[in-house]
Structure 1
Amino acid sequence: MHQINQPMMLADLLESQLSRPATTRERFRLPFSKEDTVRVLLAGVKAEVERRDKTFIMREAIMSQAGQIAEWLTGNHSKFGLMLCGGCGNGKTTFVKAFQQILNKLDMKIDDSTERYSIRIVNARDLARVCKEDYDERRGLCYKRMLAIDDFGTEPLEVMDYGNVLYPITELLTTRYDRHLFTILTTNLTPSEIRPRYGDRIADRLNDMMGKVIFANSTYRTP
């Protein structure tokens, strides 16, 4: 009788364990209200613009973009990535750099450790070089807690390394998707252009992990 019940008891145990909610890393959120996050984002954008010896002008588009980004940074939702989409020179990278400066100023500890929150910004084109030349850096980017990839879509889809075909952006995004790692992309691609370029597998993962903010305004860069 004991031998008959043992598989049943094991099945009950497995069912109980599998029914428990999975333990996942809590998504990062700024410790502010949405309204206060808009304020600090705009202050950061203004500082970035003035750092380039330009004059910051508050525009309706900037207010809208700041509001959407602030919602993502403070909201109670499952998206652990953010994609900023739009044409050249319309403020996407400036917002990412503003967020980077906010983190640097906050000097927030990660849990109870001595490590602080920070975000690395890397240009997508540099990923091809890193993928080919520096395995340790490539692995570090894949697993970095917070990462921003600027100009997503400008990188080669594959690179050759002594006869081996490597897929820099595909491998990196797959790893970050699987581990629910905080990731920001800026891109000139429209959402409809991503699937033909990267295929269903990456497009579906990006849809699942990424909130989207569309930068529909024209370039701020003047001749």
Structure 2
Amino acid sequence: MDEKDNKQGPQRVDLERFRAVLQKRNIPTRFKVDKYTEDVPAMLRECYIAEVMRRRMQFIDDEATQNHIKKAAKWLTGNCKPGLLLFGTVGNGKSTLARAIGRLIEVLYESTYYDRRKTVRTVSALELADIAKNQPERFDSIKKAELLVIDDVGVEPAVVKVWGNEISPFTEIMYYRYDRVLWTLVTTNLDDEDFYKRYGPRLGDRFTEMFDRIAFENYSYRK
């Protein structure tokens, strides 16, 4: 280093510019509905009704259902967490709402242009365990899906054997999607205590960070 360099002193970084580069590279954009945002609650309601009718059930327009749809619509259109957890007792509309969300996205984003078409992958936790055991390539594609719904978490075997190795399919998928901040919707009958007992505090803590929650405390519609 010559005398001129010594007089100039050590080179310093522009921290504001450095921060801007980091934010641009390290903060993934979570998918959210950006079409007809004011009408999303009404459209989601129609998708919910259509799902109820598809199963030959009677749509019950009670306060609980209205609130669930409203909260889900807010999550779909807002700057919210990448995951949505629908939890509560059996038969009160969690899976119906999850399917309605999937239907809404697929209808809104039907397109001849591939980069705008959105497909929601939906799989039950029980089916996921079987896929992990017998169809590893399909399991990998589900794990990496842009938009994923996992239904009835907690009924699947906690561990399955794949080529002699024990794995926890749900836990593996959640770690993968947590690290990449991927859009994930989960339904479960487990409460917080049951979830921590089954999957452990490490995954439980990540769930707290990753998921917004909608509690389903109403009665079962199957009665």
**Shift, 1:199, TM fit:** 0.9
Q: Structure 1 CA distance, aligned partners of 2:145 and 2:55?
A: 28
Count of residues in correspondence between the two structures: 218
Letter matched to residue 174 of structure 1: Y
Residues 66-93 of structure 1, C-alpha deviations (whole Å, 9 max, x = no match): 111111111223x000000011110011
**Shift, 1:27, TM fit:** 1.4
- 5+ residue gaps, structure 2, are none
**Shift, 1:31, TM fit:** 2.5
* 1:26 and 2:49 matched: no
Hey, what does 1:107 align to over in structure 2?
109
- 181-190 vs 40-49, greater mean Cα deviation: 40-49
- SS state of the match for residue 90, structure 2? coil
Cα 1:43–1:13, aligned 2, differ >3 Å: closer, same or farther? same
Hey, what does 2:53 align to over in structure 1?
50
- SS state of the match for residue 154, structure 1? coil
- SS state of the match for residue 57, structure 1? coil
Query: 2:109·2:116 contact (CA, 8 Å) conserved in 1?
Result: no
* 1:40 and 2:43 matched: yes
Query: 1:150·1:187 contact (CA, 8 Å) conserved in 2?
Result: yes
Letter matched to residue 84 of structure 1: L
**Shift, 1:124, TM fit:** 0.1
Hey, what does 2:118 align to over in structure 1?
117
**Shift, 1:161, TM fit:** 2.4
Query: 2:35·2:108 contact (CA, 8 Å) conserved in 1?
Result: no
Letter matched to residue 31 of structure 1: D
- 161-170 vs 64-73, greater mean Cα deviation: 161-170
* 1:169 and 2:170 matched: yes
Query: 1:34·1:71 contact (CA, 8 Å) conserved in 2?
Result: no
Query: 1:85·1:186 contact (CA, 8 Å) conserved in 2?
Result: yes
Query: 1:123·1:150 contact (CA, 8 Å) conserved in 2?
Result: yes
TM-score normalised by length of structure 1: 0.87
Letter matched to residue 156 of structure 2: E
Query: 1:33·1:74 contact (CA, 8 Å) conserved in 2?
Result: no
TM-score normalised by length of structure 2: 0.87
Q: Structure 1 CA distance, aligned partners of 2:105 and 2:15?
A: 42
Hey, what does 1:89 align to over in structure 2?
91
- SS state of the match for residue 23, structure 2? coil
- SS state of the match for residue 25, structure 1? coil
Q: Structure 2 CA distance, aligned partners of 1:116 and 1:33?
A: 16
Letter matched to residue 70 of structure 1: A
Matching of residues 183-202 of structure 1 within 5 Å: 183-202=184-203
Letter matched to residue 214 of structure 1: A
Q: Structure 2 CA distance, aligned partners of 1:35 and 1:76?
A: 15
- SS state of the match for residue 95, structure 1? helix
- 5+ residue gaps, structure 1, are none
